[in-house]
Structure 1
Amino acid sequence: MLRVLYKYALIIVLGTTFISCKTALLKQAKSIELADKQADISSRYLMQRIRAIPNSGYAFGHQDATAYGMGWKNEGDIYKSDVHEVVGDHPAIYGFELGHLELGHSHNLDTVNFDLMRKLIKKAHNDGGIITISWHPDNPVTKKSAWDPSPAVSQVLEGGLLSPKYRAWLTRIAGFIKSLKTKSGKSIPVVFRPYHEMNGSWFWWGQGNCTPKDFKLLWRETFEFFTNTHNVHNLLYCYSSDAVKSEKEYLDFYPGDDYVDILGMDLYHKNGTSEYIEILNTNLDLLGKLGKQKK
């Protein structure tokens, strides 16, 4: 009997501690300043949660964690992840991709159904997960994939020949993001990572395929189209380059503090492990320095 009482007492204590921590974070979140001055409280709370992560460790993430894995694909009838199969828990961060949504397709470029994706995002959020979204839009000029480096940015900017077409694409993205709601109708906050690896040359928005000036305009126009035209206020905007050799290279395409909430970086294990570790350490040191400077 005492053991049972102790068990319930422990549950109550842990539950009370969780509630008090969440209450404290919510209180702190109200004063958080984000790039989007009209950001939902959910976005501010997510930012506060992310800032608090280093106090207890780090957050491990996985792209498409619950959409497919080794030898399986989610068709809407299961909920699993390879991470859970290995360690007994789902990841803390869930990555999703919106490429081909701009074209009106039902599935993204990784064959994940968008309706299913919406459900998986809701489930992950309900479980306390952090949601990140990337977007590989097709090249609007050639109609080939995002990896077609043919120049296109100048044509989709305001006043450009393809500006109306591109804004129609952005409208579809905005619609999906705004549809991410909890059962009670509250917005689900998302870390949005558009136009990534811009210092590389493999995307149509990358270095050599557009000027830093045009890239910054593309970022700012996207931000303003979402926030001002479509009232999308549940995003944290993440600027994420490929590996860099200097602070100058990292900031060459940077659109400005008023348009960015989080600094990020993509680092793939391309060559030897020792080289990867060296690049990783150097770049994380740079990110840490810039992050503290820009808060």
Structure 2
Amino acid sequence: MRFNFIPLYRLIRHVLPVIMLFSLLPVGFGDSLSVANAASLQPVNSDASTQARELYSYLLNISGKKIVTGQHDYLESPDELSNKVQKISQAYVGVHGYEMGAISGQSDATEAAQRKNVVDSAIRWSRSGGIVTMTFHEALPGRPLTWANVQAKVSQAEFNKYVTPGTTQYNLLIADLDKVAASLKQLRDAGVPVLWRPYHEMNGDWFWWGNKTNFNQLWNIMYDRFTNTHQLNNLLWVWSPNAPNSYTVPYTPKYPGDDKVDILAVDIYNNDFKQSHYEGLLGLARNKPIAIGEHGEMPSSEVLQAQPKWVYSMTWGKMLTENNTTNQIQDYMNDSRSLTRDDVKNGLETIQPPGTDIPTLPDEGQSEPIPAPPVVIVPPAPTPPSVPDVVYVNGLRGEYFNNMNLNGSPVLIRTDSKLDYNWRANAADPKVNADQFSVRWTGKIKPQYSETYTFTTISDDGIRVWVDGKLVIDSWFKQSWTERKGSMTLEAGKMVDLKVEYYDEKGDAMARLMWESQHEAKAVIPGNALFLP
């Protein structure tokens, strides 16, 4: 038998944050989790970063007392919905959910640019005191980046090829993982711990990795690649099956094991917050933290009282307002058990020992080297992301007027993620007329390529567009679903001003703004290319 002795300095570094926290907590806080328990539970990666260990200790310590609020945002617009929560409730959620999987047919260049936007946002979020979690909707390796390929039907025999070293499919999988790792390394180097939640809902059959007898092999390949090859010591590993129901299989056989999972979560939809779901996951987790990885409807105060061990929950995407009323969002954010970003910041500061400040971004070329992988050559570490002094959010400022001439004061001002609306005969908002209204959108636009862009509008009725102060489309008259075009040469990565004005006279109303260039396929200008300071 071989004994591994832990040096004293490592023991102090790992245990001290927990001891410091409990010294500051009121009597009785540790009823559900003893100091010894918290100290003995460490991240499964023995080389986990200081920030990851502090976050894990924090989640262990709130278990049974509090729950961190959360909201997911999409790859194309990584700040849109978390900002919407703040506008509704006057507070930011504690956990910001991000996406690393491209599912809209993006090119490799677009995918890389969108992931960079995610990384920059996550760094800002972490530095503001919040928790970062990331989901990875991976298209079947080797296929185009579309939702259909995330949901590709793959037989067990074909799946086996992706988890068998030496096959073409395995090499494609490794190449995918290495690309994602490049983004996660930037977060590691910026001192950002990440709740990493890959290959979720594996007990259903709607993703290519779902309902496979050897799912755990896929998980282990990623875990080994990220932990041992890429040294992504900033990750805490979150395993997240779907809640048991008639269209899932039991999830216990899909559990990779206590040595590969830090947090056990479950995805719950249709208000299916059964006590049995909670108790079943709690039994499998034992002392590890549990969470609601995704939900459509926000858990009520009654659910939070009856199921106190959830450490965080995350509303999925646009279900924020599609499945929840304004009052329900405010109730969730203001519940006595709920923790916002400010609460999380204060809690993490409590357990952060002196001398463990978040590191500054390294200079170019100073990322730690990694060993050569056995199958696929790992690309060199990318240039660490630069976080601008001016913090931008994605979208455009929309000012809505109850007249056709943009006169007077707007009746509604909001952030619109992109300009792609078909209201038909409906009103854009209860405050806005269904007919005889106008809108002015303003913000900035950032292209990926240095080349001439063609801007295209489709509108019913009038529309005009300025790019960098130049009027490129002027179609200010009554029309029905008419396409207009204008061109402008832009510089890659350089933000320029964008202004769009629109009016509707009567009947159907719609407005859409697209672009295209030599390397940019014609499409609606995505939210990640639109910015507001």
TM-score range, shorter chain: 0.7 to 0.9
> 1: CA distance between counterparts of 2:44 and 2:90?
36
SS of residue paired to 1:242: coil
Q: CA deviation at 1:30?
A: 7.9
Query: Does residue 134 of the first structure (1) align with residue 145 of the second (2)?
Result: no
Aligned to 1:203: 207
How many aligned positions are there?
A: 249
Q: CA deviation at 1:48?
A: 0.7
Aligned to 2:176: 169
Aligned to 2:223: 223
Aligned to 1:96: 98
Aligned to 1:234: 234
SS of residue paired to 1:134: strand
Query: Does residue 156 of the first structure (1) align with residue 154 of the second (2)?
Result: no
Counterparts of 1:10-25 in structure 2, within 5 Å, are 24-25=20-21
Q: CA deviation at 1:262?
A: 0.6
> 1: CA distance between counterparts of 2:281 and 2:233?
26
Bigger strand fraction? 2
- Gap runs ≥5 in structure 1: 1-19, 71-79
Q: CA deviation at 1:21?
A: 8.5
Aligned to 2:110: 106
SS of residue paired to 1:286: helix
Q: CA deviation at 1:67?
A: 2.7
Counterparts of 1:1-295 in structure 2, within 5 Å, are 24-25=20-21, 32-54=41-63, 56-64=65-73, 67-69=78-80, 81-100=83-102, 104-107=108-111, 113-140=114-141, 143=144, 144-151=148-155, 152-157=158-163, 158-180=165-187, 186-207=190-211, 210-211=212-213, 213=214, 215-244=215-244, 249-269=250-270, 273=271, 276-277=272-273, 280-292=274-286
| Paired AA for residue 262 in structure 1 | I
> 2: CA distance between counterparts of 1:96 and 1:291?
24
Measured against aligned partners, the alpha-carbon deviations of 1:63-82 in whole angstroms (never above 9, x if no partner) come to 01883547xxxxxxxxx701
Q: Residues 98 and 232 (structure 1 numbering): CA distance in 2 closer, same or farther, change over 3 Å?
A: same
| Paired AA for residue 113 in structure 1 | Q
Contact 1:30 1:41 in 2 (8 A): no
> 1: CA distance between counterparts of 2:18 and 2:108?
38
Q: CA deviation at 1:288?
A: 2.1
Contact 2:200 2:241 in 1 (8 A): yes
Give the TM-score taking structure 2 as reference length: 0.43
Q: CA deviation at 1:113?
A: 2.2
> 1: CA distance between counterparts of 2:276 and 2:109?
40
Contact 2:42 2:56 in 1 (8 A): no
Q: Residues 55 and 203 (structure 1 numbering): CA distance in 2 closer, same or farther, change over 3 Å?
A: closer
Contact 1:153 1:218 in 2 (8 A): no
> 2: CA distance between counterparts of 1:206 and 1:103?
26
Bigger helix fraction? 1
| Paired AA for residue 240 in structure 1 | S
Q: CA deviation at 1:141?
A: 5.8
Contact 2:17 2:54 in 1 (8 A): no
Contact 1:149 1:205 in 2 (8 A): no
> 2: CA distance between counterparts of 1:104 and 1:155?
24
> 2: CA distance between counterparts of 1:46 and 1:167?
28
* Greater mean deviation of Cα atoms: 140-149 or 20-29: 20-29
Q: Residues 156 and 230 (structure 1 numbering): CA distance in 2 closer, same or farther, change over 3 Å?
A: same
Give the TM-score taking structure 1 as reference length: 0.74
Q: CA deviation at 1:187?
A: 2.3
> 2: CA distance between counterparts of 1:196 and 1:188?
22
Q: Residues 25 and 106 (structure 1 numbering): CA distance in 2 closer, same or farther, change over 3 Å?
A: farther
Q: CA deviation at 1:56?
A: 4.5
Q: Residues 249 and 45 (structure 1 numbering): CA distance in 2 closer, same or farther, change over 3 Å?
A: same
| Paired AA for residue 156 in structure 1 | Y
> 1: CA distance between counterparts of 2:287 and 2:245?
19
Contact 2:142 2:172 in 1 (8 A): no
Q: Residues 193 and 103 (structure 1 numbering): CA distance in 2 closer, same or farther, change over 3 Å?
A: farther
Q: Residues 32 and 290 (structure 1 numbering): CA distance in 2 closer, same or farther, change over 3 Å?
A: closer
Q: CA deviation at 1:170?
A: 0.6
* Greater mean deviation of Cα atoms: 138-147 or 163-172: 138-147
> 1: CA distance between counterparts of 2:195 and 2:235?
6
> 1: CA distance between counterparts of 2:19 and 2:108?
40
Percent identical residues? 28
Measured against aligned partners, the alpha-carbon deviations of 1:198-223 in whole angstroms (never above 9, x if no partner) come to 0000000001xx32x2x111111110
> 1: CA distance between counterparts of 2:68 and 2:78?
20
> 2: CA distance between counterparts of 1:286 and 1:124?
33
Q: Residues 236 and 56 (structure 1 numbering): CA distance in 2 closer, same or farther, change over 3 Å?
A: same
Q: Residues 22 and 81 (structure 1 numbering): CA distance in 2 closer, same or farther, change over 3 Å?
A: farther
